[in-house]
Structure 1
Amino acid sequence: MRRSYRALHSLILWLGVTVFGILMLNILISIAARYLGLRITNIDWVEETSRFLFIWLSFLGAALAVERMVHIRIDFFAQLLPARPRLLLEILVYTAMVVFAAVVTYEGILVTIRAGDQSPVLSIPMSYAYLALPLSGVAIVLFGLRILLGLIARFARGEGFAASGPGAMGAEVE
């Protein structure tokens, strides 16, 4: 299980770095063309490609944020709780997150399959852009389940909440 987890992490990270690199290259081309006054007949493809890449980068980043437990959260009231009830609250939150991510992933698959339109400039199927949702959704579900199992194991051992951050709360589950 640890091997497949590392493979998924590496895949998402590799895709994210690749998408980021291509996005930066696209933006550089766009800036250079405008700054140098180049009269490229059709530079609209750069903007549309950048938009699609940004969508992909956002969803891949969300998956990595869940995996590293650094996603946005408001925990003002949770911090007021004692360790054990706070851990129980974390279990509830991650359960809700995994269920929500599973529903969004399912709906994302349906949208990707049903997408019949094409992008206006590149004339590629819009399903390529929409595919970011189910792919990252699967990763979020798997990463979330791993964390959730770690939280449940801590609760079963009678432990309380540990400090938040990457690797906290016993996410290392075999």
Structure 2
Amino acid sequence: MKKVLKYLEENLEEMLMVLMLGAMAVIMGVQVFSRYVLGVSLSWSEEITRYLFIWSAFMSVSLCTRKCISIKIDQFIKFFPERGEAAFKIVNLTFSFIYFAYLIPYSAAYLKTTIASGQVSPACGIPMYYIQAAPLVCFSLTGIRLIQRWIINLEIILKKKHPDLGEGSLAGSITESVTDNIGNKEDI
């Protein structure tokens, strides 16, 4: 169970994005083949591809947060020692968390409105709340990833090693896998 949780924590976003991007490529390939070779156009392919693209775009926010990839100018903080860098990163992570915490209720309200409307997609008849759930799910996942980064940087400031959270505990697995993924202090 611990290995499964650790694997999911390390690879969840990548797995989902690879599946979605692969599905988009296959669906569009089938659409091109069907249109130009068979002479029949698939009415559902563009719609499904669009919805997969929406989900992959929102999922990439969480992936970039986990891997600490964002648009930033970090030359200033490189002048500081490790603890100083971590302090600046905590401030940045705190503002990012506040931003996503602000967005979550609005995305939930948007999803609630979509559920109440009963709207379905035109070509496939898919309930639109499956698509409109992307912001809520991905902003929540991003919030979790920000908290993980915040804890790691706080431990650097306090010069503590990561606590032993117990064999098989979810918190221990998450902390261990996040620190294993970091590698060097520049990625923290």
TM-score (norm 2): 0.72
Q: Which residue of 1 aligns with 2:40?
A: 40
Q: Which moved more, 1:72-81 or 1:124-133?
A: 72-81
The answer to whether structure 1 residue 62 and structure 2 residue 64 are counterparts is: no
Counterpart of 1:136, as a letter, is: C
5 Å-filtered alignment, 1:12-161, equals 12-36=13-37, 38-40=38-40, 43-69=42-68, 71-79=69-77, 81-83=79-81, 84-115=83-114, 116=117, 117-157=119-159
Change (3 A) 1:138 1:170: farther
Q: Give the share of equivalent positions with the same residue, in percent.
A: 17
**What is the distance in 2 between the residues matched to 1:9 and 1:127?**
28
Greater share of helix residues, 1 or 2? 2
Higher relative contact order (CA 8 A, sep 6+): 2
> Unaligned stretches of 5+ in structure 1?
159-165
Counterpart of 1:140, as a letter, is: T
Q: Which residue of 1 aligns with 2:168?
A: none
Cα contact 1:154–1:170 (8 A) shared by 2: no
Q: Give the aligned length.
A: 161
RMSD of the alignment, in Å? 2.8
1:107 to partner: Cα distance:
1.7
> Unaligned stretches of 5+ in structure 2?
161-180
Give deviations 1:30-66, integer Å, cap 9, x for gaps: 2222332x3325x231001100000111122221221
Change (3 A) 1:5 1:100: farther
Give deviations 1:64-111, integer Å, cap 9, x for gaps: 221121x22221553464234433221111111112122222221221
Change (3 A) 1:57 1:146: same
